[in-house]
Chain A
Amino acid sequence: KSDLSHFHVVLDQTRIRNNCIMTSKYNIITFLPVNLFEQFQEVANTYFLFLLILQLIPQISSLSWFTTIVPLVLVLSITAVKDATDDYFRHKSDNQVNNRQSQVLINGILQKEKWMNVRVGDIIKLENNQFVAADLLLLSSSEPHGLCYIETAELDGETNMKVRQSLSVTSELGDPNHLAQFDGEVVCEPPNNKLDRFCGTLYWRECKYGLSNQNMLLRGCVLRNTESCYGLVIFAGPDTKLMQNSGRTKFKRTSIDRLMNTLVLWIFGFLVCMGVILAIGNAVWEREVGFLFQSYLPWDPPVDNFLFSAFLSFWSYVIILNTVVPISLYVSVEVIRLCHSYFINWDRRMFCNRSSTPAEARSTTLNEELGQVEYIFSDKTGTLTQNIMTFNKCSINGRAYGERHRAQPLDFSTWNPLADRDFCFYDASLLEAVKVGEPAVHEFFRVLSLCHTVMSEEKSEGELVYKAQSPDEGALVTAARNFGFVFRSRTPSTITTQELGKAVTYTLLAILDFNNIRKRMSVIVRTPEGRIRLYCKGADTVLFERLHSCSHDVMNITSDHLNEYAGDGLRTLALAYRDLSEEQWAEWAERYRGADKAIDCREDRLAAAYEEIEQDLMLLGATAIEDKLQEGVAETIAILSLANIKIWVLTGDKQETAVNIGYSCKMLTDDTTEVFIVNGHTVQSVREDLRLVARERMMESARTRDGGKEVETQWAPPTSVLESISGEFALVISGHSLAHALEADMEQEFLETACACRAVICCRVTPLQKAMVVELVKRHKNAVTLAIGDGANDVSMIKTAHIGVGISGQEGIQAVLASDYSFSQFRFLQRLLLVHGRWSYLRMCRFLCYFFYKNFAFTMVHFWFGFFCGFSAQTVYDQYFITLYNIVYTSLPVLAMGIFDQDVPEQRSLEYPKLYEPGQLNLLFNKREFFICIAQGIYTSVVLFFIPYGVLSQATQSNGVPLADYQTFAVTTATALVIVVSVQISLDTGYWTAINHFFVWGSVGAYFTILFTMHSSVLFNIFPKQFHFLGSSQNTLAQPVVWLTIALATVICIAPVLAFRFLKLDLKPQLSDTVRYTQLVQQKKWKPGGRAALGRLGRGGSRRSGYAFAHQEGFGELITSGKNMRLSSLALATFASRHSASWIDTLRKKKHNPHSTPPTGDSSPAPSLVLISETNTF
């Protein structure tokens, strides 16, 4: 090991961590105690333990202990098995990560080592496209100047590449031998979760070097465009920023869970009330009757007065009435959820063929909440989009080219050996135009091949690889390449292209770099012929203002084209050029040098200078790039919004790109009344923006309300004016405004405004802000939120939301690991919610309703019997019946219903998204429904007690033996109960599969089988003490009167329910899903794709710029400085070194922006220009 290097963390952290991560909870030894401890933290389990203890007290014990311990042990073991399985998979995934290979420098030799064996202080070697194994201090790199490029998508979701640079002292330690000698000492801050901050000092050779985030490679990053690099492990394993950020997953509970817990508490209260009533009854009875009855039944020794007897009676009743909160409830709920999760895993329609990834329900406890989602928070890149840009269309000199009809893609390779094979274009006329030699077309592609900051790499002749800083720029340069204007290489002062097979070298005079304010970039080049020309590309809105008057005709036509592109959601850029005379250039260059050297207001002065030269441009045309959406995104969003789900896009991307995606995925359409953009930097401006939005909307809504009253929400009366707003509004808010909007005094305002909008797009948000937005909605809206994302930057949001969904099948797995559900395509979300979620919710609700019903029906019989047995806590049923009722006789049919039930076929739920609404409004199981179930249960118990009471008290067998003995009564009531609840489940089951049949009939069959077995002489002979009910069933069930009683009780219990349901279906059919949506079909036929057509028609006069560009500023400087070029030329190297200080400073300034805004720099526009005087170059 590289034992010479020392690691030191300020604050007394002396332990040397290895890189092993552990997310599992148990090992073999700790499993049992820890798991049991955890399980008994559940109130329910502790409660049953308490009951068990109560049952061991003979004076109280109204039931044998086994009635509780059997279900308790069953429940505990099922849960334990589930926990063990979960933990096993965690162990497995840990192992997989821990056993990844990395190369560690040991004794000057590179050796393969597992990730988990990497220790702090090790020096490891990374190769291109490898994941960084731990948080590393970059020591040296294969690239010049110790530069290396990383992609931090895993960490913060930003897909553009970032530059990291080693300290110049260490970057000289090129080869392993030197590195092995490295004996620096690093003192740094303790492990923390701040991704954009690192602060430390390297002590080496008596010198101190400051370390910043600029020198760090964090675990989870991927090395890009860098052959290899060496890094010193600073933080490993759980100390890494990635792991520090992941934290322990909070246990998520569904709203049904919470409701269930509340209800269970209420039931406890109810239980206590019943106990008190019966205890009072007992006191009265003992005083009035029991006291006198002592000649036959003396009080038990500890009882000396009626009050004490009542006290004992209370506890006895607590024991026998405990079945109103059956222990099997929790385990049944878990089983149902587990099965639903498997259905999600098994769903072939959520299987992605391309990545061969099935959907996965990683959390098995949230399924029914999928049926209640109201807000979806989606990441953009990688989730909505594929992060692939394609050059789709263009307009050149007023003529539109692009895919008219998707035929065969053009074959470029035949005439252009340098063409990129992956590039697809469908319009042959453009290629013709190039071949014919139309000057505008040539100039158009020349702009694309020259005006950019792409780096090229030519590994072998003709094999060009472009390293584009933003994918859209890459797409443009690639397009130019395929149309014969191949960008081949650049030096800080030249650009070499191959124009239609002919090599041309342009002298690069200046790059007028891109930034968000300028929304354009230009290059000034000297052509080989000696002319000086400025090429510019940028937002149409910006460029059109700067055109020469003679371009206006072209501009009008191009504008129409741009309009069309914008409507299709394409990202557009306008292209223009300007010829400069030698004098103009010289004069301008002079002024620029001045601006560049200015000490104060350098940026403003530079911007002014740029402005000056970018005038009188000649418009060439426009490009339209498609930010490829994931498959079916627009349709999914359309369906989800029809299901009344609000979709918010939270992205780290820029405003334009985000809005653009909003349009292309039809979140924003031209139907959208207005898009409000909140982009203020100060509290006041944000507040003003929000207020203005709100006010406008209020006026708008007032207007619509005067117009027609049809906009009326049926379910919830609007709590504020804003909620009743009908217009289609959209809100776009940027990260820095969001920071203000999320402050305590403004968040309410923000939330109201945002919730009144149909679409909300938050751009340039940090991972933390994503979580805060989700948290805000979660806290104030009392709605179920779902967050979906693919990158590590979405982790916090995924964890915060009620339901987190990760996009799997891509490189990063952080989001997936943090998620509750994962699948590989955004479009599967509709199926997850509308089909699986809806069903889960429906099933769970039906299950719970029935479950509470059946237990109340079962238990309350004891209560009524109490009035006839001196409140002595005598059970009505045999204790075996009590033990088995919940776990054998009635569990499986309701479980089958909870697992398999379907009210409408799956395609219907997708066809009629409105079917999703009951879940959002929480209509199927709420406190009201609960009371209805309880009432039905109590009614049933009344019937089940008083009908046998009425009949049997008088009845005799046909041989004259009275039927009113206790055992006959018990068997009759129990049988009636089993039959009634079985008939009820048959009514509740809407989808009778073979399994349902088997379980329903099987349960009834099992009841009779077990009944007869337990009442048989065989069992009695073996256990004479245990089976008192010998012969009861044979005796009882042979009596026609008993069957008549059971039939009577069944009809009395079921007929009202049946009648009620029928009448409800008939009178209020809108509550029945199927019927409601049949009506809906008649009103409005929903057809997929219909919306898109509509959107285009309604576009009308509104003009919208489709401009969007993922580019960042700063790269122009990087290029002209030559820093990022692998150059052997000494001259260039010297040139570069002269400039190095300045650009690194600029870069550092930006990265060290103290605010938490993403380091991509935005708050203070810093236009940068690097002026290259020709004398400088050679």
Chain B
Amino acid sequence: MKSEGEFVNQPDNTAFTQQRLPAWQPMLSAGIVIPLFTLIGLAFIGIGVALFITSQNIKVQELDYTGTATSSPCFQCSGLSIQNCTCERNFSLSELFEGPVFFYYGLSNYYQNYRQYGVSKDDYQLSGDTTYFLKPQSYCSPYQYSNNKPIVPCGSIANSMFNDTFRLYLLVNGSRKQVPFDGKGIAWWTDYNIKYRNPSPVNGSFAAAFDGTTKPVNWQKSAYELDPTDQANNGFLNQDFLVWMRRAALPNFRKLYGRITGGDYSQGLPAGNYTLQISYNYPVLSFGGTKKVVFSNVSWMGGKNQFLGIAYLVIGSLCVVMAIVMLIVYAKYKFPDNDDA
């Protein structure tokens, strides 16, 4: 490597060792920064406007049914001791609620994101490993065993599964016509297809796989009989169960209950009067929570989201303002442009 003029021990003459690597040396010159700000500002304003308009076009109908107020139809159900209570909420739509319409239930002041809550489940159970059916992991404590029988699915998350059910009726000429909720495919594809696994049926019987275990304390039905209408929608692959198990990041959240897509309602909910029949099982008043249901449709960017559009508009405008300020400052205090680089 070394040529003749070189000496022993002389360091190599490479760009790297001599710190002369070719390099791009950007400078925050006015020519870059001001147009950049203008560009970002304008782009953000554009996006903001688009988002805002899109968001404005999305319809959302929220109904609180906690029943805190005595006037509320669900008030009588909100007592702690009342079982199997049903209440109804009426509402009317003055115009077509364009489809597809999504139906959510929402809880507030509910801490699914509490750390100990989040870990209180047994992933082996949920992936259908029956060895853990009889010996749930200690994470599930105190919902690990009930009456000395292992709980399947164990843990706080499963135990606290939301169990209100809803029926929606459209009042047509005085009679109720049920609007069907499509509860299929409301969970994440990966949850349904990969992450959660039901145990293999024992002797052809799915229920037999759960032998020797007991249902979570708060559950009325066992995991294998969650949906009597659809055998496939049972166990850990029950859509509502999967939705519940995907815990929310924030204490006020909503979860998808079903889509209204079927038959007559593929265009959406027509204008008219509706009755929502709620079978009120899930107590929230004890910890000061509320329950609500939400009807909403979506656009390319999802559901209604005023925040995003406004934020974009505000930031975009600020960027443009900043660009103007910088331009003024630059014009006034222009220093000799010294791009030595």
Interface residue ranges, A against B (CB under 8 Å): 62, 289-290, 292-293, 295-298, 300-301, 316, 342-343, 345-348, 351, 353, 356-358, 839, 865, 868-870, 872-874, 900, 902, 904-906, 908, 947, 949-970, 990-996, 1017, 1020-1021, 1024-1025, 1028, 1030-1031, 1034-1035, 1039-1041, 1044-1045, 1048, 1051-1052, 1055, 1058-1059, 1061-1063, 1065-1067, 1069, 1074-1075, 1078
Kindly specify which of B19-27, B84-92, B165-173 makes contact with the partner chain: B19-27
Is the beta-carbon distance between A872 and B114 smaller than 8 angstroms?
yes
- For B42-86 the 0/1 string (1 means CB < 8 A from A) is 001001000100000000000000000000000000000000000
Min CB gap A709→B, angstroms: 26
B288 & A301 in contact (Cβ 8 Å cutoff)? no
Interface residues in B1-32 (C-beta closer than 8 Å to A): 7-13, 17-19, 21-26, 28, 30
Residues of B within 8 A of A290 (CB): 111, 114
Which chain B residue shows the least CB distance to A348? Answer: B11
Given that A953-B250, A955-B302, A993-B23 are known contacts, is A292 also in contact with B287, CB under 8 Å in the complex?
Answer: yes
**B164 within 8 A of partner (CB):** no
Which of B11, B24, B322 meets A992, CB within 8 Å?
Answer: B24
CB closest residue in chain B, given A959:
B298
Contact B28 A1020 (CB under 8 A): no
**Residue among B142, B186, B191, B330 making CB contact with A301, cutoff 8 Å:** B142
5 of the cross-chain contacts (CB-CB < 8 Å) are A951-B307, A956-B296, A1025-B124, A1031-B189, A1055-B40
B contact set with A: CB distance below 8 Å: 7-13, 17-19, 21-26, 28, 30, 33, 36-37, 40, 44, 47, 51, 100, 102, 104, 109-118, 120, 123-124, 127, 141-142, 156, 159-160, 186, 188-191, 194-195, 246-256, 259, 283, 286-288, 296, 298-308, 311-312, 315, 318-319, 322, 325-326, 329-330, 333-336, 338, 340
Known A951-B308, A961-B256, A964-B248: A1017·B194 in contact at CB below 8 Å: yes
- Give B102 Cβ to nearest chain A Cβ, in Å: 4
Whether the pair A1031, B191 counts as a contact (CB closer than 8 A) is yes
Question: Closest residue of chain A to B32, judged by CB?
Answer: A1062
Q: Known: A955-B308, A1044-B47, A1069-B335. Is A1051-B315 also a contact (CB below 8 A)?
A: yes
Q: Given contacts A955-B302, A1017-B194, are A965 and B248 in contact (CB under 8 A)?
A: yes
Residues of the B chain whose Cβ atoms lie less than 8 Å from the Cβ of A1063: 326, 329
B17–A298 touching, CB < 8 Å: no
Q: How far is the CA of A962 from the CA of B37 in the complex (A)?
A: 33
Checking B160, B305, B335 against A296 with a beta-carbon cut-off of 8 angstroms, the contacting residue is: B160
Assess A351 versus B11: contact at CB under 8 Å? Given A961-B186, A1025-B124, A1044-B308.
yes
Cross-chain contact B302 with A906 (CB below 8 angstroms): no
Q: How far is the CB of B233 from chain A (nearest CB, A)?
A: 17
Q: A874-B114, A1062-B33 are in contact. Are A992 and B23 (CB under 8 A)?
A: yes
Instruction: Report the Cα distance A1061→B114, complex, angstroms.
Output: 40
Which residues does chain A contribute within 8 Å of B44, judged by CB atoms? 1051
A1052 to B40, CA, bound (A): 11
With beta carbons under 8 angstroms apart, the residue of B12, B115, B250 that contacts A964 is B250
For residue B8, which residues in chain A have a CB less than 8 angstroms away from its CB?
356
> Can you name the residue of chain B whose Cβ is closest to the Cβ of A997?
B24
The reply to whether B302 and A1020 contact each other, CB–CB distance below 8 Å, is: no
Q: Which residues of B contact A959 (CB under 8 A)?
A: 298
State how many angstroms separate the Cβ of B182 from the closest Cβ of chain A.
11
Least CB distance, A159 to chain B, in whole angstroms: 26
With both beta carbons as reference points, the residue of chain B lying nearest to A874 in the complex is identified as B115
Q: How far apart are the CA atoms of A1021 and B123 in the complex, in Å?
A: 12
B288 touches A1059 (CB 8 A): no
Please indicate the chain A residues that have their CB under 8 angstroms from the CB of B301 in the complex. 955, 958, 1040-1041, 1044
Check if B111 sits within 8 Å of A869, measured CB to CB.
yes
Do residues B111 and A297 form an inter-chain contact, with CB atoms below 8 A?
Answer: yes
Within the assembled complex, what's the spacing in Å between the Cα atoms of A935 and B137? 43
Q: When chains A and B are docked, how far (Å) is the Cα of A958 from the Cα of B305? A: 12
B-side contacts of A356, CB under 8 Å: 7-10
Could you list 8 further interchain pairs (A-B, Cβ under 8 angstroms) beyond the known A905-B340, A1031-B188?
A358-B11, A868-B113, A870-B251, A904-B340, A966-B112, A1044-B301, A1045-B308, A1048-B315
Task: Collect the chain B residues with CB atoms within 8 Å of residue A316's CB.
Answer: 115
Closest chain-B Cβ to A1014's Cβ sits at a distance in Å of 13
Chain A residues within an 8 Å CB radius of B189: 1031, 1035
- Report the separation of the CA atoms of residues A961 and B185 in the bound assembly, to the nearest whole angstrom: 10
Are B329 and A1040 closer than 8 Å at their CB atoms? no
Beta-carbon contact of A1065 and B188 below 8 Å: no
CB pair A960–B298 under 8 Å, yes or no, is yes
| A301 CA / B120 CA spacing, docked (Å) | 13
- 6 A-B pairs with the lowest CB-CB distances in the bound complex, closest first: A1031-B190, A969-B249, A346-B17, A960-B102, A956-B303, A292-B287
- What separation, in Å, do the CA atoms of A132 and B9 have in the docked complex? 28
Q: Are B25 and A991 in contact (CB under 8 A)?
A: yes
Shortest beta-carbon distance from B164 to chain A in Å:
14
B142 touches A1035 (CB 8 A): no
A459 to B36, CA, bound (A): 83
CA distance A963 to B40 in the complex (A): 26
- Which residues of chain A have C-beta atoms less than 8 A from B287's C-beta? 289, 292-293, 295-296
Known interface pairs A951-B308, A963-B302, A1048-B315; A992-B190 also in contact (CB < 8 Å): no
Looking across the interface, which residue of chain B has its beta carbon closest to that of A1020?
B194
CA distance A1017 to B196 in the complex (A): 12
Cβ-defined partner of B326 (8 Å) among A297, A839, A1025, A1059: A1059
Q: In the complex the two chains form, is B299's CB within 8 Å of A351's CB?
A: no
Q: Does B250 lie within 8 Å of A868, measured CB to CB? A: yes
Residue of B with least CB distance to A1064: B28
- Asked if A993 and B21 make an inter-chain contact with CB atoms under 8 angstroms apart, the answer reads yes
CB–CB B113/A869 < 8 A? yes
Q: Are A1024 and B311 in contact (CB under 8 A)?
A: no
Chain B residues, Cβ within 8 Å of A1028? 123
Interface centre among B28, B40, B253 (most CB of A within 10 A): B28
Find chain B residues with CB under 8 A from A1024 CB: 123-124, 127
Pick the contact of B115 from A872, A1017, A1031 — CB < 8 Å? A872
A1040 touches B305 (CB 8 A): no
Known: A874-B113, A1048-B308. A1030 touches B300 (CB 8 A): no
